[in-house]
Amino acid sequence: MTKYESYKSRLARIADLGYTMALQGWDQETYMPEKGADFRAQQTATLSGMAHEMSVDKELGDLLKKLSKKKDLTPKQKRNIEESLKDYKESKKYTTEFVEQLSRVTSECFQAWQKSKKESNFKLYAPHLTKMIDLKRKEADILGYKKHPYNALLDQHEPGATVDQLDVLFKDVREQLVVFVKKIAAAKQNDDSFAYKNYNKDKQWNFGIELLKQMHFDFEAGRQDISMHPFTTNFSPQDVRVTTKVIENNLKSMIWSCIHEGGHGLYEQGLPSSEYGLPLGEAISLGIHESQSRMWENNVGRSLPYWKANYKHLQKYFPAHLKNVSLDHFYKGINLVKPSLIRIEADEVTYHFHILVRYEIEKLLMEGKIKVNELPEFWNEHYMKYLGVKVKSDAEGVLQDVHWSHGSIGYFPTYSLGSFYAAQFFHQANKDIKGLQKNIEEGNMLPLLNWLREKIHRHGKFYSAEDLCKKVTGEKLNFKYFMNYAKDKYSVIYNLK
């Protein structure tokens, strides 16, 4: 066995443990009985400790250092070693005790969040979230950072991104999107009341499955289930799990949960199986990952060509509800721009105000300038400030997202990054794929999927997010593509001059 083959074998075993933990997490959010929580936390902590010990093993470190000096590696092999050595050095900063503690607190925090959300009582969650935030601040210190502790955690989700960069980006959101939303608010509003009738859950589910099949989500290499909060996870490119949320009096929730998570799932299924456990078998960043889901959800799934392909079929599922709703009425209704309480149900324009609130909270938490028990008040005040909506309960406010219970601090900004990448990528796809809009109108999603496979999915972590964006579009991330997309689309929908 060559040194590189030995490296691959070691990384595959570490990945086996990681994906086993991911399987436990999927089960915990879908089918696990409530009483299984304590032992599940123990089991996951044990596996986390084992995986950490393998990832910081001295023999692995020595092997990586030797491989990093070899001159005969292929470009892909070299990139794998570079990324693995970086990960090794980061992992060495953690103790096994800290990793196991973080795993236990994460399991306990998630269970507390579920209970708190059901009862709409933040106080049940606060002590657990406080432990989590204390650990994440400690983790930032362990990792080390420049300028701001948030940078250490942000880098875990969006390598290379910094607070300085995000502050500029969200300045664009404040200065450009806010003004545009005010123009829309002053226009005649469209009607979306048709979406809130009673839609049979089973029929919704079946329609969602058909949308996933149309996207070419491979059900022989994946499945869909129900969860409290829609998500995607994977255990290999041949086993990708997506979940959705079906609400009988909200047709929008299921449709765009399916399309959104389907976009994530397609990315995971498109990663090279030959690189299992290696950096080139993993997604580049959460911003790029989110670009795939937001492109399918918004640039495709909320477009007029998409519904020219699918609306008559939806009407067949729900003839009594939609027989008197024209395609134009439906299209304008599903693209209603209106400030709302729930992030995952927000329109694609005001959505970024939801992210802005979370970004500001996370920075303050990491700085120690706000305490956990102050979050509901801060949240409610800023939802009124940015969105002009009144939060009536913890469940529809500060408890609506699962992310903090997972310890995913630094995750939320990637949602906005994803939307901005999506607009830029889709702009390029329309230039590269002849008749793309006609293909979508005919229900043919394969040309777009093939383009994404070639341009993005197959590369894994070979490129950084910034370099990939430059390779695909010729320039780094540029907010203008999202702003132009939003203006072009909604100026027509709202008849703006």
Q: Which residues carry out catalysis? A: 261
What's phi and psi for 72, nearest 5 deg?
A: -100, 15
Please report, in angstroms and rounded to a whole number, the separation of the first and last CA atoms in the chain: 68
- Asked if 341 and 391 count as a contact pair (C-beta separation under 8 A), the reply is yes
Nearest CA to 225 out of 249, 237, 209 is that of 209
Two tokens, residue 94 = 């953690």
- Asked if 306 and 440 count as a contact pair (C-beta separation under 8 A), the reply is yes
Angle at 408 between CA 265 and CA 248, to 5 degrees: 55
Nearest CA to 116 out of 432, 463, 363, 402 is that of 402
For 71-194, where are the alpha helices, taking DSSP H only? Answer: 75-91, 96-119, 122-143, 149-157, 163-172, 178-186
Nearest CA to 331 out of 441, 257, 179, 246 is that of 441
Two tokens, residue 384 = 């009124």
Two tokens, residue 14 = 């570490």
- Asked if 187 and 349 count as a contact pair (C-beta separation under 8 A), the reply is no
- Residue 51: in which H helix or E strand, if any? helix 37-55
- Backbone torsion region of residue 45, taken as left when φ is above 0, otherwise alpha when ψ lies between -120 and 50, otherwise beta: alpha
- Asked if 409 and 136 count as a contact pair (C-beta separation under 8 A), the reply is yes
How many angstroms separate the CA atoms of 126 and 131, rounded?
9
